[in-house]
Amino acid sequence: MMNSKFCCPVRSDFPIAILWVVILAGLTCSQNPNQESANVVVANIGDHKIYQKTVERFIDQNLGERNRSIIGTNLIKAQALEHLVRRAIVRDFLVKKGYWVGENAVRLDIESFESQLKRADVSLEDHLREKKTTIEQFEFETGWKLSWDSYLNRVLTEKVLANYFERNRTKFDGTQIKVAQVLVKHGSDTDEACVKKLKGILEQLAAQPLDWSKLVAQHSEAASKDLAGLVGWISIDGPMPPDFTEAAFKLGVGRISPPVKTAIGWHLIKCLEIKPGKKGPQDAHGEVLASAKQELFFKIARDHRKNVAIQFSGSWPHLDESGKLAE
């Protein structure tokens, strides 16, 4: 059965990063797109238009029922739009490379889905009304899913996935690492001052590597500062924030990361010990496939962006090239 939800990879940018904002700041998004927003174009990506209602629906579906009553922030709205911009860029790539499916394939898939709805005594019109979408948007979503899935099946072969596993083994095989940190919390100073402070600590450690415990006790704002900054064992799934974990898993034993920013503050991370995992490629096939899809999506969106004309209407918040809210 065709999945009628929006089928596109969502990395840490959305909803994960947005949900971190929601959880930590108590902020969510408006959930009831009004009729006027249906025809408001917020961005043009080549020949593809992104409508305000599409962004509102995307936020609605990804944030879920719990947050319906609270108004969203411009950052969340801009991050949601950026994700749809990336998808439109990938669509442009698929079209230009000849991977976008034809109208017949879309029509046949929708007819098949409609037949399944009828067996449940539900019309396509009722389904679209329930999903707060239009037939045009539904056709686009169907074309997207069929085209993206077809492309993935062509390029993510078993050999490619096996090589991907080997390149990222610690991410998938259950590896755990024991880490310590220096933490400078948000609010204690500006980001620039925090980074400067942590870089100064790195310079001191380069001169006197054995002074880690002393420097942690002097400068860290974590509760573990008197324990040499010990965090303990972490895995790729947590318990630390994603940016912390990603930086930590790039380290070898005894190595220290550059300054890393998370929702908590700025960190220096030291790898103390590595406990290798035991999973093989087949044991982690689902995780490997999902990660490879996600990485491929963002790579295409990044590399192909320069080949697509992108225009924002200014009626909806968006991100600039640095990833910050545009003025």
**Residue that is written with structure tokens 């007819």 in the block:** 111
Q: What number is the average pLDDT over the span 312-322?
A: 92
Alpha-carbon distance of 132 to 153, in angstroms, equals 30
Least confident of 138-147, 184-193, 261-270: 184-193
Q: Which of 13, 9, 5 is nearest to 87 (CA)?
A: 9
pLDDT at 29 over 70: no
Q: What is the pLDDT of residues 133-188, one digit of tens each?
A: 889 889 999 999 999 999 999 999 999 999 999 999 988 999 999 999 999 998 87
Instruction: Give per-residue burial for 23-62: e unless 16+ CB within 10 Å, then b.
Output: eeeebbbbbebeeebbeeebbbbbebebbbbbbbbbbbeb
User: Mean pLDDT over all residues of the chain?
Assistant: 86
- Percentage of the residues of the chain whose pLDDT score is greater than 70: 85
**20-24 mean pLDDT:** 36
Note the pLDDT tens digit of each residue in 66-112: 544 444 588 888 999 999 999 999 999 999 999 999 999 999 999 99
Q: At what angle do helices 135-155 and 103-119 cross, to 10 degrees?
A: 110
Query: pLDDT value at position 70?
Result: 44
Distance CA 138, CA 126 (A): 13
Tokens of 17: 């990063």
Identify the band that residue 37 occupies on the pLDDT scale cut at 50, 70 and 90. low
Q: Return the DSSP state at 233.
A: E
Question: d(Cα 240, Cα 135) in Å, to the nearest integer?
Answer: 42
Q: Identify which has the larger pLDDT, 300 or 2.
A: 300
Predicted confidence band at 64 (pLDDT cuts at 50, 70, 90)? low
Both structure tokens of 31: 């959930």
Give the DSSP H or E segment for 191: helix 191-207
pTM to 2 decimals? Answer: 0.74
Classified as helix, coil or strand, 281 is coil
Fold adopted by 12-160+290-312: Triger factor/SurA peptide-binding fold (1.10.4030)
**CB proximity list for 309: less than 8 A, separation 6 or greater:** 44, 45, 46
Mean pLDDT along residues 248-264: 94
CATH of 176-275, one of 3.10.20.30, 3.30.160.60, 3.10.50.40, 3.40.920.10: 3.10.50.40
3-state helix vs strand vs coil in the chain, percent to 5? 55, 15, 30
Would the pLDDT of 35 be above 70?
no
Burial 240-269, CB ≥16 within 10 A → b, else e? bbbbbbebbbebeeeebbebbbbebbbbbb
Whether the CB-CB separation of 63 and 79 falls below 8 Å is answered with no
Q: What is the pLDDT of residue 221?
A: 93
Domain extents in the chain: 12-160+290-312, 176-275
